[in-house]
Amino acid sequence: MVKIPEWWIETTLWEIVDVKSWSTPSTKEESYWDWNISWITPKDLSTYNKRFIDRWEKNITELWLKKSSAQLLPKNTVLFSSRAPIWYVAIANKELTTNQGFKNLICDENNSHFMFFYYWLKCKKDFIEWLASWSTFSEISWTWMKNLPIILPPLPEQKAIAGILSSFDDKIELLRAENQTLEEMGQTLFKERFISPLAPWRGNWTSKNSLDSKKEKSPSGDLGAELPDGWKWGELWEIWEQITTRVKNEKERVVLSAVNSWNLVLSESYFSKQVFSEDIAKYITCDKWDFAYNPARINIGSIWRNFYWNWAVSPVYVVFRPKEKFWKYLEFIFKSERFKNHVEKYANWSVRQALNYDWFSRFELLIPSNNILEKFNENLEVFEKKIEENKKQIESLSNTRDQLLPKLMSWEVRVEF
């Protein structure tokens, strides 16, 4: 057993930091909302993967601050979601406030370093979740939170520990930002080729082939749209194959989780591996790059792209496989505003905000020629390779950081300071 360094202090959280929580302004009072003071909820952090946060979907006004007991939390406050969803952690990058679903840690710069406590909470994940399991409402109470035991190193060592862990997250966040830029570059390329007023299909072809092009009416009613040879207006069902193959191998399977986003580039955290008690033979096999959606829950952004081989999805999903050359094109179609508008239009006709397969598959779209798709995919391949390289680096850095975290927090691995 590793001996605790004599200069580390055994104490509790409330003796070291100030723990604060606020509340939710009345949603009926319009004067409390939509101004410039950021207001964060636990749900906001459920899809957030950065350490520092400035703002999210909702803002409040100074009027609510004046009429309530709430105060602005200072910059570098550690935000910890203590009510479902539990255990999301972020750091305030400016003055802001939160709802009652947080226990916020305000650190005294003379004895507690905010970044150290950010990682300390990360390290306490299993213990905190165990405490929450004793609560009827899956919540960390004030008593439990303030009395969490901590063995605290001196401030210089706190900063040294946090500095090592931050070096991993600095690189991870840079790689994620680079991937986002590459995705945006791909989106720009898609718009230039197939959506922009200057796109080739709108008549700006200068080759002799344009003389033989046909005029067709686009879904938007553009009667003057000139389509070069091999291009046509069609529907989604023409460029995919619906998959209904049932599971035969029970070793690996996956359940797709609900995601409040249209972003199709999902990480493994959006998936949950588990062994099912029900008949696995009911599940549908899902190959890499297949798409799936839940017809009954289209309002929560239930369109996914699979990144894994030979897994399975619940039978509530419709699984479809793009035809050759169309898989990347189809992803950009799902990200387009036209498709979102299509979903919202037809889903609103349903009592349950559903979108049945017929409405989904008959979405009208431009189907380019094979040679144009090949060039488009070749251009994207450079972006895709770099994105995949970055993802592997992110996974490696994350694993190393996660292995190092408990060792640093339990003084098993020491740092110079």
CATH superfamily of 9-152: DNA methylase specificity domains (3.90.220.20)
Mean pLDDT of 230-245: 87
Q: Who wins on pLDDT, 20 or 172?
A: 172
- 256 Cβ partners below 8 Å, 6+ apart? 270, 271, 292, 294, 302, 304, 313, 314, 317
CATH topology identical between 9-152 and 232-367: yes
Q: How far apart are the first and last CA of the chain?
A: 23
Whether residue 291 contacts residue 305, with contact meaning beta carbons closer than 8 Å, is answered with yes
Sheet-wide strand order for 89-92: 18-20, 102-106, 78-81, 89-92, 52-53
Mean pLDDT of 87-95: 93
For residue 370, give the 3-state DSSP assignment: helix
Query: Is 89 exposed, middle or buried, given 0-12, 13-18 or 19+ CB atoms closer than 10 A?
Result: buried
**Per-residue pLDDT tens digits for 173-215:** 999 999 999 989 998 898 888 876 556 555 433 333 333 444 4
Q: Rounded distance, CA 260 to CA 300, Å?
A: 5
Question: Nearest-CA neighbor of 97 among 122, 71, 67, 116?
Answer: 71
Ramachandran quadrant class, 310 (left: phi over 0; alpha: psi -120 to 50; beta: rest): left
Right CATH number for 232-367 from 3.90.550.10, 3.40.1390.10, 3.40.50.261, 3.90.220.20?
A: 3.90.220.20
Question: Nearest-CA neighbor of 244 among 196, 315, 295, 170?
Answer: 315
Return the bridge partners of 20, or none.
Answer: 104
User: What fold does the segment set 154-205+369-417 form as a domain?
Assistant: Helix Hairpins (1.10.287)
Return the bridge partners of 52, or none.
Answer: 91
Sheet-wide strand order for 291-293: 240-243, 318-322, 291-293, 303-305
pLDDT of residue 309: 59
pLDDT of residue 251: 54
For residue 287, give the 3-state DSSP assignment: coil
Q: What is the DSSP string of 87-141?
A: --EEEESSSBEE-TTEEEEE--TTT--HHHHHHHHHHTHHHHHHHHTTSTTSB--
Q: What is the pTM of this model?
A: 0.78
**Per-residue pLDDT tens digits for 373-386:** 999 999 998 998 99
Which region among 19-28, 108-117, 193-202, 362-371 has the lowest average model confidence (pLDDT)?
Answer: 193-202
Whether residue 269 contacts residue 407, with contact meaning beta carbons closer than 8 Å, is answered with no
State the maximum Cα–Cα separation within the chain, in Å, rounded to a whole number.
85
Whether residue 228 contacts residue 369, with contact meaning beta carbons closer than 8 Å, is answered with yes
Please state the domain extents for the chain: 9-152, 154-205+369-417, 232-367
pLDDT over 70, % of the chain: 77
Alpha-helical (H) ranges within 308-369 are 327-335, 337-347, 357-361
